[in-house]
Structure 1
Amino acid sequence: MSLSSTPSFAPLRLKKNEERRLRAGHLWVYSNEVDTAVTPLAGFEPGQPVEVQAHNGKPLGTGYINPHSLICARLVSRDPAHPLSDSLLVHRLKVALGLRERLYPGPFYRLVHGEGDGLPGLIVDRFGDVVVVQITTAGMERMKDGVIAALDKVLKPVGILLRNDTASRKLEELDSYVEPIGQVPEVIELSENGVRHLAPLLGGQKTGWFYDQQDNRARMFKYVRGARVLDVFSYVGGWGIQAAMHGAESVMCIDSSAPALEHAHAAAELNGIAERFSSLEGDAFEALKALRQERERFDVIVCDPPAFVKRRKDFKEGALAYRRINELAMSLLERDGILISCSCSHHMARESLAETLLAASRHLDRSLVFLEQGRQGPDHPVPPAIPETEYLKAFFSRVLPA
């Protein structure tokens, strides 16, 4: 269902002083911040539109609630004249589109990045005239028809793919499903930094592609001319293909997914660099150990793993995994090598990743200096009041003998 143009909003009252974070710019309400004596959580349905109120009943804005989730409500609008509605969805999509059209030469980018674009629970990646949607909250799921209608009105895509199979939906007690609407190919071609890539929309990771690294991949170009490059956790070859297109002597991609590497090889053919491209299928840790035993060496290594620290309680184990993989990568670098090391774990702070890289270098008796740092691209905006929306870190390091 979608919201009507004049939805009714149930009141959600907060305890005294619990509105301070919202007034400071955050959009989340935790279940322990709700005055359940006035507005019992048991009285709400998952996804129900609500008016969030301060302890004295003063409205703070409109949004939606899921009484079964720790983050039980999300604020979508603070403007009483423009509350949460289908028309607000259209407006926010137009605002988001305006930014991307200013920043990117073609229609290949993240169009909506949840809270960063004022639409909590909604992710939209654009692949030309096809868009891939991820809905992660009960409130946005309830507005699914309105989301589809808004995308049709603003973009008129030939196809919309609902990739609602993320693990985070379980936290909202939502079913997992993939639903194509219109003309949605299994694999689609996209252009990033002037390079052609193939994204498996239906069977790939997340939405099929990782636009958040676009600027960091461009930052890599000056380091790879004439270099032997290793792309670890390559997926479909985003870093590796672009390295080859910008002068790398050779590129090897490592990934555990055979289909992902097949798409990488197909993209190498598309771009005319197949003779300089190779791949190695397998577990990244084991593959790097095997390359070390074979005394292989590389000038530039990109290490862009999945999130090793998905929850705060996983930090110790995850930090160890980051150290192990980066230490293995450093052991494969030439005497004067470049390591591009990334983390997409929000709970792995930038300072923690820096300390992990330092520890790895010292264990190998190598000297490490940071040359540049990167973050997620501007199509993944970060509201300063919501630090949880900033997650991507990239360190460009020079690794030398001690």
Structure 2
Amino acid sequence: MGASAKWPTCEPLAAVKLKPRKALPFYGRHPWVLATGVDRVQPLSIAAEHMLADGSVVNLLNEKGKFVARGFYNGQSRIRVRLFTWREEEQLNADFFERRIADAIESRVQLGLEPAAGSPARSTSAARLIFSEADGLSGLVVDRYGDYLVVQATSAAMQQRLHGIAEILQKLLAPKGMVLRGDAASAKLEGIEPIAPERLGEWTDEPIRIVEHGISYEVDLTDSQKTGFYLDQRDNRLAVAKYFAGRKVLDMFCYTGGFAMNASRHGQAAEVLGVDTSKRAVAQAQKNAEINGLTNVTFEAGDGFQSLEKFATEGRKFDAIVLDPPKFARSRSQVDQAIQAYHRLNRAAVALLPPGGILVTHSCSGSVSREDFLLMLSGVAQKTGRDIQIIELRGAAADHPVSSTCLETEYLKCVVCRVGQLARDKPVFIGSGD
């Protein structure tokens, strides 16, 4: 298949040779080849040398020059090659992408999130259809909101192929319209310019309205966080609501009110306060509450850390607190700093809870492991002298699957805790000699 504006050449232009003893993870089908594992990049011809650019197709070779896998190259990124196939005869062309995309959609049909052939029924009006590495399409996210799609590229190669991918999605799903967009944080890591949102097909300037667990939300698909909504928390929003009956609930980092409104509608909370740093998100959250007729839910703008400190100074208490902060670590080098931030945040929240209070705490930092996060909570228990019982461990919704060969796709940690009384008058710290 020849190259086009929508589909750059699918012919491998270079061989990326690994350093000695670096090939094992890629035989195991891990999709990220980091720059530290690359020995050299060798163009496959004189012509290819002039054509090789970020986003080009390359072959990955072991130290002896044997084929390992094929993927897309980016000389500006820490992820030097994103691997897509381990079959030497398989080309990374439009047909390949159509097969992968169709398979991802079929998996959502099996989950009941997309209708089977001839059936209009959906269990929800919004779902993630493609989840990057977990669906074998590193750097690509596709979310459906009603009859519209948001197609987001988080890598150089996927950004170059967005229009070709859009044609495949139109063929397979026939949406009314699509938004093609990039991600500023990912673009910086990839060394590319982020693209402005581009609308395709039928469109409206009004927010899209979706329904999740009987609650309506307005979603702006072109100018909002992520792709417009945090679909990964779909099941958690409903599942944790059962802990809030009759309680005074604080939803910190509330965005457009998902946990807050579920606490009211499905949890029968006595009253709910949502706080978010974005005044725009707070305004939308308040509107969402009004749309759903929820009169015991209020929202205010404020920094998460500062708001918790202010509540403590004012002597305010809550019976239950939800913490759903933004990503604190984008790489392993930032994990220690992130753990400190999580510790500070959770420690401040625990101080606002009475004995028997509920803490629902999250981390969406993929570099922070579940073990890291649980050890952080252990540190909070030590420092505060409070018993913290973990009563439920949860993750992302099923349309955000975890790849067994790329465990980094298990990024979301949801921990439901019961916070008890002081375990003893004077907290004991490990290593204190007491």
The TM-score with structure 2 as length reference comes to: 0.86
Q: Which among 358, 361, 377 is matched to residue 341 of structure 1?
A: 361
Matched positions, count? 400
- The aligned residue for residue 202 of structure 1 is 222
Tell me the secondary structure at the aligned position of residue 254 of structure 2. Answer: coil
Worse-matched range after superposition: 46-55 or 83-92:
46-55
Aligned with residue 88 of structure 1, among 83, 96, 99: 96
SS, match of residue 84 in structure 1: coil
- The residue that corresponds to 1:167 in the other structure is 185
Select the residue among 14, 18, 24 that pairs with 2:22: 18
- One-letter amino acid of the counterpart of residue 148, structure 1: A
Task: Report the CA distance between 1:171 and its aligned residue.
Answer: 2.1
Residue 37 of structure 1: how far off its partner (Å): 6.8
> Aligned-pair distance for 1:38?
4.3
**Structure-1 separation of matches of 2:272 and 2:25:** 47
Aligned to 1:374: 394
For 2:84 and 2:249, locate their aligned partners in 1 and report how far apart those are by CA, in whole Å. 44
Give the superposition deviation at 1:193.
2.6
Match of 1:50? 58
Alignment correspondent of 1:7: 10
Q: C-alpha distance in 1, partners of 2:109/2:273?
A: 34
Q: Does 1:245 align with 2:248?
A: no
What displacement does 1:223 show? 0.7
Please state whether the residue corresponding to 2:40 is helix, strand or coil. Answer: coil
Q: Distance in 2 between the 1:72 and 1:113 partners?
A: 20
Which amino acid in structure 2 is aligned with residue 66 of structure 1? N
Using the alignment, how far apart are the partners of 2:372 and 2:397 within structure 1? 21
Return the letter of the residue paired with 1:47. G
Q: State whether residues 66 and 72 of structure 1, in contact with CA within 8 Å, keep that contact through their aligned partners in structure 2.
A: yes
1:55 is displaced (CA, Å) by 4.2
Deviation at 1:276, TM superposition (A): 0.7
1:261 to 282, 286, 291: 282
Measured after TM superposition, the shift of residue 349 of structure 1 is 2.0
Aligned twin of 2:198: 179
Shift of 1:82: 4.0
Whether contact under 8 Å (1:164, 1:178) holds in the other structure is: yes
Counterpart in the other structure of 2:106: 98
Matched, 1:122 2:140: yes
2:208/2:220 contact within 8 Å kept: yes
Tell me what 1:354 maps to. 374
Structure 1 Cα separation of the partners of residues 280 and 372 of structure 2:
33
Q: Give the drift of 1:80.
A: 4.5
> How far apart, in 2, do the equivalents of 1:387 and 1:328 lie?
31
C-alpha separation in 1, matches of 2:341 and 2:86: 42
Query: Using a 3 Å threshold, how does the CA distance of structure 1 residues 299 and 23 change in structure 2: closer, same or farther?
Result: same
The amino acid across from 2:278 in the alignment is: S
After TM superposition, give the deviation of residue 111 of structure 1 in Å. 0.9
Cα distance change on mapping 1:293 and 1:101 into 2, 3 Å? same
Q: 1:360, CA displacement in angstroms?
A: 2.1
- Retained in 1: the 8 A contact 2:16–2:58? no
8 Å CA contact 2:15–2:41 kept in 1: the answer is: no
The whole-number CA distance in structure 1 between the counterparts of 2:77 and 2:278 is 33
| 1:31 correspondence with 2:35 | yes
Q: Secondary structure at the match of 1:253?
A: strand
Q: Does 1:76 align with 2:84?
A: yes
CA displacement, residues 188-217 of structure 1 (integer Å, 9 cap, x when unaligned)? 222223322222222211111111112222
Gaps of 5+ in 2: 114-122, 423-434
What is the CA deviation profile of residues 344-367 of structure 1, one whole-angstrom value per residue up to 9, with x for unaligned ones? 112222222222222223333221
Shift of 1:293: 2.8
Q: 186, 206, 212: which one pairs with 1:192?
A: 212
Q: In the TM superposition, what is the alpha-carbon distance from 1:14 to its structure 2 partner?
A: 2.1
In structure 2, the CA distance between the partners of 1:314 and 1:37, relative to structure 1 (3 Å rule), is closer
Q: Which residue of 2 aligns with 1:271?
A: 292
The verdict on how the C-alpha distance between 1:55 and 1:357 changes in structure 2, with shifts beyond 3 A counting, is: closer
Native 8 Å contact 1:100 1:111 kept in 2: yes
The equivalences for 1:215-226 within 5 A come to 215-226=235-246
SS in structure 1 of the partner of residue 249 of structure 2: strand
- Distance in 1 between the 2:253 and 2:84 partners? 36
Deviation at 1:180, TM superposition (A): 2.1
| Structure 1 residues 308 and 69: CA distance shift in structure 2, 3 A | closer
DSSP 3-state at the match of 1:202? coil
Q: Which residue identity is paired with 1:139?
A: A
Residues 37 and 350 of structure 1: is their aligned pair in 2 closer, same or farther, counting only changes over 3 Å? closer
Give the Cα separation in 2 of the matches to 1:269 and 1:255: 18
Q: Which stretch has the larger CA shift, 29-38 or 204-213?
A: 29-38
Single out whichever of 146-155 and 47-56 deviates more from structure 2. Answer: 47-56
In the alignment, residue 13 of structure 2 is paired with which amino acid?
A: A
Matching residue of 1:66: 74
Superposition deviation, residue 185 in structure 1: 4.1
SS in 2 for 1:14: strand
Q: Residue deviations 1:238-267, cap 9 Å, x none?
A: 111111111112111001111101111111
SS of the residue aligned with 1:21? helix
Structure 2 distance, partners of 1:37, 1:223, is: 55
User: Is contact 2:248-2:319 (8 Å) kept?
Assistant: yes
Counterpart amino acid of 1:303? Answer: L
